Amino acid sequence: MPEIRGYATHAAGAELLAYRYEVGELGADEVQVRISHCGICRSDLHLIDNDWQVSKFPFVPGHEIVGTVEAVGKAVQKLQPGERVGVGWQSGSCGNCTWCRSGKENLCPDSQPTCVHRNGGFADAVRVPARFIIPIPEALESENAAPLLCAGITVYTPLRTYGVSPASRVAIVGVGGLGHLALQFARVFGAEVTAFSTSPAKEEEARAMGAHHFCNSRESKGMKALGGSLDLIISTVNADQDWSAFLTTLRPEGVLCLVGAPSRPLQIPGSLLIQAARTVSGSNTGSPLALAEMLDVAARHKVKAQTERFPMGRVNEAVAKVRKGAVRYRAVLAN
């Protein structure tokens, strides 16, 4: 039996240990990818800790995967061994529902994540249905491409959903793993870009990544000055915020879109939504088609994940650093 070697945690919150698992014959629709790089996402930590009560142990995390096609199943066309490809958060969907049929597989009620009830990318290889394999444009380095497959698409999708254009004023809450990519993409879309952060030390970097303006969201003066001016706010943070203050910075019909999940339910006065027909929304990753488009945009417009590389064998050190929020801005494991 062939086997795949990776790292698994055997109980909620435990260290990752070297782990081998046997694989049988490759499924007709499957592709085996030899992994060169795998990013570490916040969701991996939530799954390691079983915060969402869906993790099965032993659990192999990892869903920002870049590698090369090693083998393809009998029914797979258009993918050749040696081709460089990526795999993101999703690795399966029903294929039949309204969402799958309209090219929004990420919204399928039966969506299957790459590392939930499947073994993920903290390993030397992974098996994924061909539908969810995304070619990587030549111009992107594998290490920088990996975080785009979850973090990148997560912030790219709302820019597309809400039709961001050069006429738009867009703000990004949080300059971190997601936020540093959101600033770059928003700038590429032609918007006037504001970075909201509570760390004044990040101002210079935020501006270098595309922000025209920087606003410390704890300072009411700056928030007031923005009053009623923004079309779209993408919030990438998990910390609870003064959501009312953010809503007042939105123009009529403006949207506050969450891609990071705050721990507590949002406290929002209805009047702030009603008066100016504002919307609070959420967004999750993107379809395979959207992923391919996002990578193409990143390649052509030089959107680049700022990464910190760790050898796969130092996975625990890397995970610990991500937990501390000390990585600038995305950790990537390399084989």
Residues in contact with Zn ion by CB under 5 A are: 41, 43, 93-94, 97, 100, 108, 150
DSSP assignment of 53-96: S---SSB-----EEEEEEEE-TT--S--TT-EEEE-SEEE--SS
Name the residue nearer to Zn ion (CB basis): 247 or 295: 295
Listed in sequence order, the residues at least 6 apart from 271 whose beta carbon sits closer than 8 Å to its beta carbon are none
Enumerate the β-bridge partners of residue 21: 4
Name the residue nearer to Zn ion (CB basis): 40 or 232: 40
Name the residue nearer to Zn ion (CB basis): 35 or 100: 100
Name the residue nearer to Zn ion (CB basis): 41 or 237: 41
Name the residue nearer to Zn ion (CB basis): 210 or 260: 260
Q: How far apart are CA 177 and CA 179, in angstroms?
A: 6
- Residues, the chain: 335
Q: What's 324's DSSP letter?
A: T
Q: Cβ of residue 17: shortest distance to Zn ion, in angstroms?
A: 22
Residue 206's CB: how many other CB atoms inside 10 A? 24
Q: Cβ of residue 132: shortest distance to Zn ion, in angstroms?
A: 13
Name the residue nearer to Zn ion (CB basis): 108 or 164: 108
Residue 325's CB: how many other CB atoms inside 10 A? 10
Q: Cβ of residue 203: shortest distance to Zn ion, in angstroms?
A: 27
* Bridging pattern class, strands 279-282 and 250-258: parallel
Q: Cα angle vertex 318, ends 42, 123, to 5°?
A: 85
Q: Cβ of residue 301: shortest distance to Zn ion, in angstroms?
A: 22
Q: 26 and 72 in contact (C-beta within 8 Å)?
A: yes
Q: Cβ of residue 110: shortest distance to Zn ion, in angstroms?
A: 6
Q: Cβ of residue 334: shortest distance to Zn ion, in angstroms?
A: 18
Instruction: Give exposure, 294-303, as e/b (b: 16+ Cβ within 10 Å).
Output: bbebbbeeeb
Nearest C-alpha neighbor of 188 from the set 205, 172, 165: 165
